[in-house]
Structure 1
């Protein structure tokens, strides 16, 4: 069977929601340690940001899906997400700084293995794209984003 004919198997909504919660907690530890972010950004939210207000949000790119199953019931899955940073840069330097901030988050994340839940083990977190402008809105507001991928393994019974 070719990979084009293979059915995509998504992880359960319960598993995905738990991972999202734990990943947000971990990402917010990075946010707390940053002095360069406007003080009005208290936390990285899940799939939501206020209009015309500096903010950050994590959003799933697609549902987490299983990439490999093992005979013992374990499996490896991919969780693809992005981090969005809303800001109102008033200079080209400020616009570049927004991208650098997100790239800095990716550098911080690379090589780490956060706790994402019982029986779940992070294999790798990687930056998939460089940070870039995503959208421009009225009033000079912009959303910058970075795409990330986390590969994790599920160990049943742990």
Structure 2
């Protein structure tokens, strides 16, 4: 008998609790190259940015979603080993007041690397905003954090070294 129901797509990203994965398909760029001076100067912490080529943003690690802005433009996650980070989608996108963002995750939930956090309407938002997306380590919890060299990446690809 044929099933008329489609299986729900499951993101099966396997990574350890001390690794980061790409939050979307795109190209990694140095944080110093982003157009927002606060992020480029590493005022909030060190990290990496990604020029998005698609609009579903996923969790970069295994951990807890501590902050999920209702506007969908930013998320704060504490990795299972205590490292804290933020994902900031676009530059000045808070001004959109959530238009173009469909939040898929709930503050306080446990996430696995690759779990979808938000869908972003890149076509619409990129008309007004620079949609580079920053992954900033705000508290390394005394751990050495480093990322792979800038290159094209696929969602779920391990980007820490």
TM range (shorter): under 0.3
TM-score (norm 1): 0.27
Q: Which has the higher contact order (CA 8 A, sep 6+)?
A: 2
Greater radius of gyration (CA): 1
Question: How does the TM-score come out when normalised to structure 2?
Answer: 0.26
